[in-house]
């Protein structure tokens, strides 16, 4: 029946003290260095994710305001200046992307016609 029990550890033995010394010396330092680096990486990832969510929320709010304005639910006088500037910048970015698409399409057409 007593065969299943582990032998008691003698904490006063030389081998136990040597083993504990090396374990403390090498084990904890590497764990702390790795944990701090992992924590920094995780914090950066979390912060990037939070920032992207905030940015997406702002974009969705601006799109919702734009749709309400286009449908006539909100009058121009009821909107804040910040909202108007945000909608205008969104329109400007959409116009810029359309201009880029048009120029690329024109280049493709010219290349096709020259062949």
pLDDT tens, residue by residue, 72-107: 898 888 888 988 898 899 899 999 999 999 999 999
Say if pTM beats, i.e. exceeds, 0.75.
no
pLDDT for residue 101? 96
pLDDT of 33 above 80: no
Torsion of CA 37, 40, 46, 47, to 10 degrees: -150
CB environment 78-100: b (16+ within 10 A), e (fewer): eeeeebeebbeeeeeeeeeeeee
pLDDT for residue 103? 96
pLDDT for residue 3? 62
């Amino acid at each position: 029946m007593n065969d299943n029990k582990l032998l008691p550890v003698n904490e006063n033995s030389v081998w136990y003290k040597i083993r504990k010394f090396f374990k403390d010396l090498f084990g904890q330092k590497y764990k702390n260095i790795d944990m701090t680096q992992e924590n920094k990486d995780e914090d950066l990832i979390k912060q990037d994710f939070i920032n992207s969510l905030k940015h997406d929320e702002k974009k969705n709010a601006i799109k919702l305001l734009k749709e309400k304005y286009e449908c006539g639910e909100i009058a121009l006088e009821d909107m804040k200046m910040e909202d108007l500037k945000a909608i205008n910048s969104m329109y400007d970015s959409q116009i810029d992307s359309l201009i880029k698409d048009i120029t690329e399409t024109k280049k493709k057409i010219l290349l096709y016609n020259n062949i």
